[in-house]
Amino acid sequence: MKLNRSSTRPLLLVTVLMILAAMAVLVVSCQDNAEQAASGAQVAGATEDINAIAEARGLTPADIAAAVKTYTPSGKHDEYYQFASGGQSGQVYVIGLPSMRIIKQIAVFTPEPWQGFGYGELGTMSVLEQGGLTPDGSPLTWADTHHPALSEMDGDYDGDFLFINDKANARVAVIDLRDFDVKQIVKNPITLSDHGGTFVTPDTDYIVEGGQYAMPLGFAYSSIENYEEDYRGMITFWKFDREKGRIDTAQSFAIELPPYWQDLCDSGKLVSEGWVFCNSINTEMATGGVELGNPPFESGASQRDMDYLHVFNLEKAKEVYAAGNVEMINDFPVITLETAIAEGLLYFVPEPKSPHGVDVTPDGEFMVVAGKLDPHVTIFGFDKLMAAIEAGTSETDAFGVPVLDFDAVMEAQVELGLGPLHTQYDDKGYAYTSLFLDSAVARWTLGGAADELTEEPAWTLVQKTPVQYNIGHITAAEGDTVSPDGQWLVAMNKWAVDRFLPVGPLLPQNFQLLDISGTGTDMPVVYDMPLPDGEPHYAQIIKADKIEAWEVYPEIGWDPHTQAVNPDAPLAGEERIEREGNEVHVYMTAIRSHFTPERVEIQQGDHVVWHITNIERALDATHGFTIPNYNIHVSIEPGETVSFEFDALQSGVFSYYCTEFCSALHLEMMGYMMITPSE
Ligand code: RUQ
Ligand code: CUA
């Protein structure tokens, strides 16, 4: 069919003008409505009688108070950012507090279609590839994110970077909080499983990644019958280069550990700065094999009354590493267990019954360990620990690691309830511990210097607020810093059960916001938020004004993966298509509402490298770009240049188009790629 162009063009123009005119009318009438509302004009059906509304909806005075504390009117920003791990989604969620509105999902270890993360864009593909390959050579794209850690300066969150681990593949990712974009993934070179990460040292010199399930270090095979001889745990200290915003793998090292399952870790702060603490489970060294008549893992690994809190002298470990007193495993420096013992880098302290979290208090004086199978939290004193190390011990574990005397190091035990897991802190001298089996958050008082802040006696349970249900981690505003804020605490509940409309057998997680600004028993739940994605583990909450996010990329042609202008960025007026043999380079720009060029003609079999710059400077003027059938999608934010490449294997006519509804003529923001058949 042949179209008569000369006659259709004016018609098209008239249609476009009519649409634009209609839209202008719409905008004006919207404004009219807004003005009416603002001037207090009665809108049909609405009432301002709060009591009548509350009665109609069955709300109690406590419900109304909760609503008033959390409701954040349109246009008003939240006070805090919460960065939550995305669990099995491999990503990170950014949530505003107190409104509990999800603001963003950051693609970290997993392709994310909207942001075009892992859909051809070269920068994102290279981040995914850095993160390791499957046995068949494709990037790993599944991850189990557990514990995000904000970068710190002097023990306070500084708002510059966020780190997070992937428990499933022992990886650590670095996110830059200027553009909320992942920049780097490092894969642990000696083991496959981590859990004690990520935790930062008080100036973010190191990012701690503790292991979990023991295995032969370096990925060798050894029969499980040789568990005690050949299987090992580890802790890795990743050196962070703040200037470059990257982990410096060449300055990083690990320490070999006995084949216990190291669990969560925390860094010392203030008085305990320079030390790192990790708890452990399965000091029984159970190896499973229920099918052979062995005890199953969960009971085999729970026989002993005590496991071991691992105490690391990081300052000394750095010296040992710097002196080259290491063994290379897969080209990665590892301080052997023997050296760690000989140099006094590692001590054990008995800790009760399958412990979970270890959380250092804001003043750095105490380490709080929750025993999953013990109704207490056990508090160890740092000064007592130092004294015990000073005094020395003749006790060792089976591998020769010195074991300090429990009673000499223990400061207090507080009985809280069933299944204590994780502890957070506030500004009033309280600690908060999640109780998994009780489905509650316990508030209790700290001793030491923090004792003066509360009216209640030290080391005492004050309140237990029920949560729904089976709480894992809790996170409090600035709760891991040397100066927590108090105010808000989020219970990260694993089960939602009856809290939301039914959605089939797979239910969301339930984040519950608790107002902890009061004292004593005043600690109500004020909001329920379903999280309809992977099951988060930990989260951190930072004061919003500490984050200085860019509004648009600083300069046109910006490459987010180098955080600098890309010298090859296509600029306005320089758009072109260059061919060298069968390699074709497309230099394209995007601005409302067109791509330049609008036609790209190539030949089947060409290798195509395509660059697009979004030359906009307006806030939120993002364009997307996709080529059908080639599984390519990129998001091009204002100022950004993206690149992708592909082999033009399939001939035909391909309409590429903008995928963000960027303007009234967004649908017209398209072009044709014509691939002429090679035969
Ligand atoms: S651990 S709650 Cu990584 Cu407690 Cu999940
Ligand atoms: Cu650009 Cu739609």
- Each residue's pLDDT tens digit, 527-537: 999 999 889 99
Tell whether ligand 1 has an atom less than 6 A from the beta carbon of residue 356. yes
> pLDDT higher for 664 or 46?
664
Please state whether beta strands 594-596 and 623-627 pair in parallel, antiparallel, or not at all (unpaired).
Answer: unpaired
Same domain, 33 and 59: yes
Per-residue HEC secondary structure of 122-190 comes to HHHHHHHHHCCECCCCCECCCCCECCCEEEEECCEEEEEEEEEEECCCCEEEEEECCCCEEEEEEECCC
Interhelix angle 50-57/61-70, rounded to 10 degrees, is 110
Tell me which residue has its CA closest to atom 5 in ligand 1.
537
**Substitution candidate for ligand 1 out of 198, 421, 495 with most atoms within 8 A of CB:** 421
- What is the domain-level CATH number for residue 664? 2.60.40.420
For residue 603, report the distance from its CA to the centre of ligand 2, in Å: 27
Same domain, 326 and 416: yes
Tell whether ligand 2 has an atom less than 6 A from the beta carbon of residue 656. no
40 part of a folded domain: yes
Task: Return the ligand number nearest the Cα of 637.
Answer: 2
131 part of a folded domain: no
Q: What is the mean pLDDT of residues 336-341?
A: 98
Q: Which atom of ligand 2 is nearest to the CA of 662?
A: 2
Same domain, 482 and 336: yes
Same domain, 239 and 351: yes
Q: Which atom of ligand 2 is nearest to the CA of 624?
A: 1
Question: What pLDDT was estimated at residue 371?
Answer: 86
Tell whether ligand 1 has an atom less than 6 A from the beta carbon of residue 537. yes
Question: What pLDDT was estimated at residue 13?
Answer: 43
Tell me which residue has its CA closest to atom 3 in ligand 1.
146
113 part of a folded domain: no
Question: What pLDDT was estimated at residue 46?
Answer: 62
Task: State which of 44, 70, 96 marks the end of a domain.
Answer: 70
Q: Which of 510, 490, 489 is nearest to 499 (CA)?
A: 510
Question: What pLDDT was estimated at residue 368?
Answer: 98
Same domain, 580 and 664: yes
Q: Which of 331, 313, 320, 322 is nearest to 267 (CA)?
A: 313
214 part of a folded domain: yes
Using pLDDT thresholds of 50, 70 and 90, give the confidence band for residue 47.
low
Tell whether ligand 1 has an atom less than 6 A from the beta carbon of residue 171. no
Distance CA 92, CA 313 (A): 31
Q: Does residue 37 sit in helix, strand or coil?
A: helix
Record the tokens describing residue 615, joined without a space: 């030359």
- For 27-36, 88-97, 321-330, 597-606, which range has the lowest pLDDT when averaged over its residues? 27-36
166 part of a folded domain: yes
Q: For residue 665, which phi and psi values (nearest 5 degrees)? A: -105, 30
Tell whether ligand 1 has an atom less than 6 A from the beta carbon of residue 146. yes
Quick check: 17 pLDDT over 50? no
Quick check: 4 pLDDT over 50? no
Mean pLDDT of the residues in the chain: 93
Using pLDDT thresholds of 50, 70 and 90, give the confidence band for residue 129.
very high
Using pLDDT thresholds of 50, 70 and 90, give the confidence band for residue 538.
very high
For residue 636, report the distance from its CA to the centre of ligand 2, in Å: 10
Same domain, 96 and 56: no
Record the tokens describing residue 316, joined without a space: 């000394």
Same domain, 244 and 381: yes
Tell me which residue has its CA closest to atom 2 in ligand 1.
472
Tell whether ligand 2 has an atom less than 6 A from the beta carbon of residue 636. no
Range of the domain at 37: 5-70
Distance CA 172, CA 132 (A): 11
> pLDDT higher for 1 or 174?
174
pLDDT digits (tens, 9 = 90+) for 399-421: 999 999 999 999 999 999 999 99
Q: What is the mean pLDDT of residues 115-133?
A: 96
Same domain, 565 and 498: no
Tell whether ligand 1 has an atom less than 6 A from the beta carbon of residue 421. yes
Tell whether ligand 2 has an atom less than 6 A from the beta carbon of residue 669. yes
- For 119-133, 291-305, 321-335, 504-518, which range has the lowest pLDDT when averaged over its residues? 291-305
Question: What pLDDT was estimated at residue 372?
Answer: 86
Tell whether ligand 2 has an atom less than 6 A from the beta carbon of residue 349. no
Task: Return the ligand number nearest the Cα of 616.
Answer: 2
Quick check: 490 pLDDT over 80? yes
Rounded to the nearest 10°, the torsion over CA 519, 525, 527, 532 is: 130
Tell whether ligand 2 has an atom less than 6 A from the beta carbon of residue 591. no
Distance CA 561, CA 182 (A): 9
Task: State which of 70, 93, 125 marks the end of a domain.
Answer: 70
Q: Cβ contacts of residue 399 below 8 Å, gap of 6+?
A: 258, 337, 341
Quick check: 236 pLDDT over 70? yes
Q: Cβ contacts of residue 183 below 8 Å, gap of 6+?
A: 127, 174, 175, 176, 245, 246, 560, 561, 563
Q: What is the mean pLDDT of residues 539-554?
A: 98
For residue 661, report the distance from its CA to the centre of ligand 2, in Å: 5
Structural domains of the chain, count = 3
pLDDT digits (tens, 9 = 90+) for 435-478: 999 999 999 999 999 999 999 999 999 999 999 999 999 999 99
121 part of a folded domain: no
Q: What does the chain come to in residues? A: 679
Question: What pLDDT was estimated at residue 301?
Answer: 87
Same domain, 270 and 203: yes
Q: How are strands ordered across the β-sheet holding 652-657?
A: 599-603, 670-676, 652-657, 623-627, 632-636
- What is the domain-level CATH number for residue 508? 2.130.10.10
Quick check: 668 pLDDT over 80? yes
Tell me which residue has its CA closest to atom 1 in ligand 2.
623
Question: What pLDDT was estimated at residue 354?
Answer: 87
Q: What's the count of helices (H) and strands (E) in the chain, helices before strands?
A: 10, 42
Same domain, 192 and 327: yes
Task: State which of 511, 546, 581 marks the end of a domain.
Answer: 546
Same domain, 539 and 563: no
pLDDT digits (tens, 9 = 90+) for 295-328: 888 888 888 889 999 999 999 999 999 999 999 9
194 part of a folded domain: yes
116 part of a folded domain: no
Beta bridge partners of 106: 92
CA angle 351, 447, 423 (to 5 degrees): 55
The answer to whether the pTM exceeds 0.85 is: yes
Task: Return the ligand number nearest the Cα of 421.
Answer: 1
Same domain, 221 and 274: yes
